[in-house]
Every structure is written in C-alpha cells, then in structure tokens.
Amino acid sequence: MKFAVVIEKGASSFGAYVPDLPGCVAVGETREEALRLIREAIEFHLEGIKQEGEAVPEPHSETEYVEILTA
C-alpha cells in the first residue's frame, strides 16, 4: 500500500501527516527523520486498526503540484 504523506518544514523541525489516516502524525529534527518516523507511525496506526477488528482503509489521496506565475 502507498499512502500520501504531507511534510511541512517548521522553524526547527519537520512535521509529517497522512491525509488518509487521521491522527497519524510524526515530527523529526530532519526531513529524513520525519519520513522514518511517519513510516513507523503508519505501521503502528494500521496495527491498531486491525486489532480493533476494522478494515484497513484504502488510500485515496493523491498529490499534485500546481505551478503559479507571480507578478
């Protein structure tokens, strides 16, 4: 499965979240650390969903960049 992950650069850290898995977030000092931690968070999140007897949601979010010309 592939889940879209949004990475946001903050003043002193990087945050990551998964739009298809509400509450699945991670924060790291570097982009690489945030990606590693969100991967772990996704696995943990999905384990919890399975333990609750619920179906794992299919990913449906997509990402796209839109280029805008500025004046």
pLDDT tens digits, 37-71: 999 999 999 999 999 999 999 999 999 999 999 97
Q: Are 49 and 67 in contact (CB under 8 A)?
A: no
Token pair 């499965």 is found at 1
Whole-number pLDDT of residue 71: 77
d(CA 29, CA 13): 5
- What residues does each domain of the chain span? 1-71
Whole-number pLDDT of residue 6: 97
Token pair 């850290």 is found at 13
Q: Are 7 and 31 in contact (CB under 8 A)?
A: yes
Whole-number pLDDT of residue 5: 97
3-class DSSP state for residue 15? strand
Query: CATH classification of 1-71, choosing from 3.90.320.10, 3.30.160.250, 1.10.10.10, 1.20.1440.230?
Result: 3.30.160.250
pLDDT tens digits, 3-38: 999 999 999 999 999 999 999 999 999 999 999 999
Contacts with 47 (C-beta within 8 Å, 6 or more apart), sequence order: none
Q: What's the pTM?
A: 0.88
